[in-house]
Amino acid sequence: MSAILMDGKALSAKVRGKILEETHCLEQTGVRPGLAVILVGEDPASQVYVRNKEKACVECGFYSEKYVLPAETTQDELLGLVDELNHNERIHGILCQLPLPKQISEEAVIAAIDPKKDVDAFHPSNVGRIMIGDYDFLPCTPAGVMELLDEYGIDPKGKRCVVIGRSNIVGKPMSMLLLHRHGTVTICHSRTENLAEICREADILVAAVGRANFVTPDMVKPGAAVIDVGMNRVDGKLCGDVDPAVAEVAGYMTPVPGGVGPMTITMLMKNTLKAAQK
């Protein structure tokens, strides 16, 4: 058996096409979705992400602004820019690329972004709304995972779902979205005992641990859907948290690259469109 590969690139193109249509409709009312992206410092991976976000804005017909600040930027300077963008009517979404230099508190910056423009869904009030199931925006990577599951007809309802990783950006919100869809969810992490045994029970296994090839075939239930959120570089090559050999056991699997990655940026576009519509 070889897993069906879940094509995030193809789904991303389809969703962006729908976003472009809705953008054209919105423009008839005099509103064009606007996204501001802030990059502090010269982190190479962040620079790549920002370029990809700019490209996505063009594809979706959005107005965009990019602010590249030096690594020595102070917290007050960055908060001042965020405040300006909060009051800028052309900007509907604000994204500050993480990580930030050590002199700047990520928590302070996230808290300073207007929740109505928080298209990353990191603001504490948006996180709280996700917990209770009454949200405007979803964190982009977990939202992309849910779109992929829907596209391939994989319904979490009644299924055993295991999420490896408990980050605020992926692991925790991912578990909540699966729970909202009536999955029975287990969150695993570095201190989980009998991890492989727990993973083998999963009908849907989400790996978001940040360790290359961490999930091996012996950890996967035959026929399971395996979602690889990992983005690691080994010898200059991009690879996920899931060993490619898992494809021989799983029923469905997301490739790296070309799986969850393209969907993450597309969900950012979807959130920005929603912010403009509201």
Contact 250, 224 (CB under 8 A): yes
Task: Give start and end residues of each alpha helix (H) in the chain.
Answer: 8-27, 44-60, 75-86, 106-112, 124-132, 140-151, 171-180, 195-199, 260-277
Alpha carbon separation from 120 to 93, 191, 252 (Å, rounded): 9, 28, 27
Q: Report the distance separating Cα 189 and Cα 155, nearest Å.
A: 24
Alpha helices in 28-164 (DSSP H): 44-60, 75-86, 106-112, 124-132, 140-151
Token pair for residue 187? 């969150």
Mark whether 120 is an active-site residue. yes
165 annotated to bind ligand: yes
Rounded CA separation 171/90 (Å)? 33
State the catalytic residue, choosing from 7, 118, 120, 241: 120
The helix or strand, by DSSP H or E, that contains position 238, with its residue range, turns out to be strand 237-239
Question: One of 7, 97, 159, 228 is an active-site residue; which one?
Answer: 97
How far is residue 4 from each of residues 41, 76, 88, 174, 208, measured CA to CA in Å?
Answer: 40, 49, 45, 22, 20
Residue 9 annotated as catalytic: no
Tokens standing for 108?
């302070």
Residue 167 marked as a ligand binder: yes
> Of these residues, 53, 172, 221, 274, which one is catalytic?
53
- Kindly give, in sequence order, each residue whose CB lies less than 8 Å from that of residue 76, ignoring residues fewer than 6 positions away: none
Active site residue 53: yes
Residue 41 labeled ligand binder = no
Q: Which residues are annotated as a binding site for NADP(+)?
A: 165-167
Catalytic machinery residues? 53, 97, 120
